[in-house]
Amino acid sequence: MAEARGKQVSLVPEGIRVGDATLPLYAGAVHYWRLAPEVWRRCLEAVRDLGFRLVDVYVPWGVHENADAELDFGRQDPKLDVQRFVSLCHELGLKVILRPGPHINAELTRFGIPERVIWDLECQARSPHGRPVLLPVPPLAFPVPSYASEAFHAEVTRWYDAVGRELASLCAPDGPIVLVQVDNEGSMYFRDGVYDQDWHPDALAQYRRFLQRRYGKVSALRKAHGDEDVTFARAEPPKQMSAHTVGELAPHLDWADFQEQLLADAFERMRRGLEHAGFGALPAAHNLPLSEGATPLDPERVGDVVELVGLDYYHGASMPQRREIARRTSELAVRSRARNTPAFACELGSGFPPFFPPLRQDDNAFSALTALAYGLRGLNAYMAVERDRWIGAPIDPQGRPRATSKFWKDLLAALERTRFSELSRHTPVHVVIPRSQRRLARVCHAFGPLSAALFQVLGGGAPEACFEDDFGLDDPVVIEAERFVRQLERALEHERVPYAVVSGDLLATSLATASWVIVSCTGGLEQELLEQLEAARHAGKNVTIGPYLPTRDHRMQPRERAADLGSSTAAVPLHLSLDSVAIEAAVVAARRDLALPTVVATPADVFATLHRDESGVARVMFVINASEHDLDATVTAAGAKEAKDALTGEHFHASLGALRLAVPKRHVRMLELLGKA
């Protein structure tokens, strides 16, 4: 795990600590280069008046670089005087999150990277056939850079050095910059299918070194890859999904695994570049895009490079999106708590780009409140101020608040008033999805460049997007494993048991903090995770595995020894199959026998979450209605005499330990719990 580089600025679960002061991470994004300098002050004052504590500042390389490859930081175009803009933030008491790319997206053509770099063949990612890899995104498709390219990294280093000359002197504790982001949504520019890229010569050289570190001896490589002629010097990645049996999966899984490492290594180089440029005293962040579990971004590896691993949220108000937000955020909350950092939305949609499906203000509010309900503790409203290629920000380009700004002002006031960043949500059940399962799902994706991440954004997953081949195992195991997780989610929600869905690298945290740990398994499992499960079972921990027991390793190769999961005093079954009745019965029994806490809410389409202070007292409740119907809800009062809607001020009195309230369709109420019954 990355350690904080500076003592004066550090991350804590409540936010960011600068000297002796702790600041909740409530930020709003402002694009200085898209606004006239004469309105900067007015816009920043409006951001501050809504209650935001920080300003999220992209620095677009491709905008600052002119046609002669010279950089302009305001000498010719006053709109590019980023030093003046950041200094103005400081003057107004606003801290700054600095995001110098190189990839920033920001709805810019070429995602903010200079055209000359984009068209430099040495910088371009390569397809399996050695051709440039195009990203077909409005307003103009472009060839994406390679995260392995030495030429590209040299260009990035020069860019960072230039940014440092302008802004490094404005770092905290004496300046406003408190956090720096490494790259942006680094999933290979959304061309993240296993067989999309990267056959760049520099990537292939890294891949061969990766294989040598993994296998050590060429005989081991030949055995795993089923190729008696392969050598470390000549190994080639598979160019398409060609495995017909489980024994042929290893080279495909190795290539997918390497892509995860490639990104982490690239971020490490960028992090070192930012340190060299003068930002080494600041903690660093990276934002994972929508559907992060279907991309080559491994949060554990990314977390070895940066201190803060956050998520982006652009969700609509619907039942499927409610569950997706719950799954994503519950993992983020567990990961962040384990890392002693805030669960942060690096981008939380406030408006939408015009070439995407519209997100109404109701969608933005639903997404924000639902993410907070499932564990989010900090956010960056993207965008706070309107600009070109964006619709629906709460502040217009002249710095005037719009009607939609009231939601953000009321929400931020409620978060401050309840000291929400200091509260926590307990999840007694953890559903663990190993990284090897997510990797296998990527390898088995059936739709080529229409990536698994895109399918997940559209509401699909492995059952909708993966090959149904069984590779000689009798079942399409990755599809069955995802169905197993979905059935668990439904059963736990039916019984109103709070749970989190977490990655395999968090298994040790889950075993230490959860009452019941359920591990999804395709039959293949990482050795480290198996050893943890064996120890946990022998120690009497409540551990269940399903729908398959681990008989293979993370590359789906047979284990040299059988798993020793033996007898145990645990109160839960060792194994659950893909049987909805058995899963439901196991959840009911565990709720009873383990005395699992519940958060009761009726009718069935209403969900509630509780957030407690350090003493265990429930302070805030969220009540979620993602359905298409207005509902009259009854929820537990959690020991409170009454509740107040934190955004509207409406009061509700408890009766017989319950609160009764109306919840409109596609709506979330945030309740302050008051008094003791």
pLDDT in tens, 455-504: 888 778 899 999 999 999 999 999 999 999 999 999 999 999 999 999 99
Task: Examine the pLDDT at 5 and tell me if it is beyond 50.
Answer: no
In this structure, are 418 and 433 located in the same domain? Answer: no
In this structure, are 588 and 629 located in the same domain? Answer: no
In this structure, are 486 and 634 located in the same domain? Answer: no
Residue 438 sits in a domain whose CATH number is: 3.40.50
- Domain carrying residue 629: 601-676
Quick one: average pLDDT of 421-445?
A: 98
Alpha carbon distance, N-terminus to C-terminus of the chain:
44
In this structure, are 581 and 614 located in the same domain? Answer: no
Cα torsion 178, 180, 184, 187 to 10°: value is: -110
Task: Examine the pLDDT at 1 and tell me if it is beyond 70.
Answer: no
Q: For the chain, give the mean pLDDT.
A: 96
Task: Examine the pLDDT at 335 and tell me if it is beyond 80.
Answer: yes
Residue identified by tokens 């067989």 is 195
Q: What is the pLDDT of residues 354-381, one digit of tens each?
A: 988 899 999 999 999 999 999 999 999 9
Quick one: average pLDDT of 519-528?
A: 98
Q: What is the pLDDT of residues 557-584, one digit of tens each?
A: 999 888 999 876 778 999 999 999 999 9
Last residue of a domain, one of 593, 612, 644: 593
Residue 455: predicted pLDDT: 84
Residue 28 sits in a domain whose CATH number is: 3.20.20.80
Q: What is the pLDDT of residues 597-614, one digit of tens each?
A: 999 999 999 999 999 999
| Spatial separation of the C-alpha atoms in residues 304 and 339, rounded to whole Å | 11
Residue 226 DSSP symbol: T
What proportion of the chain, given as a percentage, has pLDDT over 90?
Answer: 94
Cα torsion 540, 541, 547, 552 to 10°: value is: -80
Residue 57 lies in a domain: yes
Quick one: average pLDDT of 635-664?
A: 97
Residue 326 lies in a domain: yes
Task: Examine the pLDDT at 340 and tell me if it is beyond 80.
Answer: yes
Residue 156 lies in a domain: no
Residue 205 lies in a domain: no
Cα torsion 7, 12, 16, 19 to 10°: value is: -40
In this structure, are 462 and 410 located in the same domain? Answer: no
Residue 460: predicted pLDDT: 84
b/e code 516-528 from CB counts within 10 Å (16+ = b): bbbbbbbbbbbee
Instruction: Retrieve residue 143's tokens.
Output: 């060839």
Residue 566: predicted pLDDT: 81
Residue 357: predicted pLDDT: 87
Residue 2: predicted pLDDT: 60
H-run or E-run covering 48: helix 40-50
Residue 655 sits in a domain whose CATH number is: 2.60.40.1180
Residue 203 lies in a domain: no
Task: Note if the pTM is more than 0.95.
Answer: yes
Q: What is the pLDDT of residues 611-644, one digit of tens each?
A: 999 999 999 999 999 999 999 999 999 999 999 9
Residue 201 lies in a domain: no
| Spatial separation of the C-alpha atoms in residues 532 and 513, rounded to whole Å | 14
In this structure, are 305 and 443 located in the same domain? Answer: no
| Spatial separation of the C-alpha atoms in residues 315 and 313, rounded to whole Å | 6
In this structure, are 490 and 623 located in the same domain? Answer: no
Q: What is the pLDDT of residues 136-188, one digit of tens each?
A: 998 899 999 999 999 999 999 999 999 999 999 999 999 999 999 999 999 99
In this structure, are 570 and 448 located in the same domain? Answer: yes
Last residue of a domain, one of 372, 397, 422: 422
Quick one: average pLDDT of 323-332?
A: 98
| Spatial separation of the C-alpha atoms in residues 195 and 535, rounded to whole Å | 37
Residue 459: predicted pLDDT: 79
Residue 6 pLDDT class (50, 70, 90 cuts) = very low
Quick one: average pLDDT of 410-416?
A: 99
Q: What total number of domains does the chain contain?
A: 3
Residue 4: predicted pLDDT: 44
Last residue of a domain, one of 549, 567, 593: 593
Residue 144 DSSP symbol: P
Residue 449 pLDDT class (50, 70, 90 cuts) = confident
> Does residue 259 contact residue 237 with C-beta atoms inside 8 Å?
no
- Strands 134-135 and 95-99: what pairing? unpaired
Residue 485 DSSP symbol: H
In this structure, are 615 and 588 located in the same domain? Answer: no
Residue 64: predicted pLDDT: 99
| Spatial separation of the C-alpha atoms in residues 247 and 265, rounded to whole Å | 29
Residue identified by tokens 């995001």 is 99
Residue 231 lies in a domain: no
In this structure, are 387 and 474 located in the same domain? Answer: no
Q: What is the pLDDT of residues 44-72, one digit of tens each?
A: 999 999 999 999 999 999 999 998 999 99
Query: How many residues are present in the chain?
Result: 677
Contacts of 589 by beta carbon, 8 Å cutoff, 6+ apart: 572
**Which region holds residue 213: left if phi is over 0, alpha if psi is between -120 and 50, else beta?**
alpha
Residue 518 lies in a domain: yes
Residue 677 pLDDT class (50, 70, 90 cuts) = low
In this structure, are 417 and 466 located in the same domain? Answer: no
In this structure, are 339 and 467 located in the same domain? Answer: no
Residue 7 pLDDT class (50, 70, 90 cuts) = low
Contacts of 562 by beta carbon, 8 Å cutoff, 6+ apart: 551
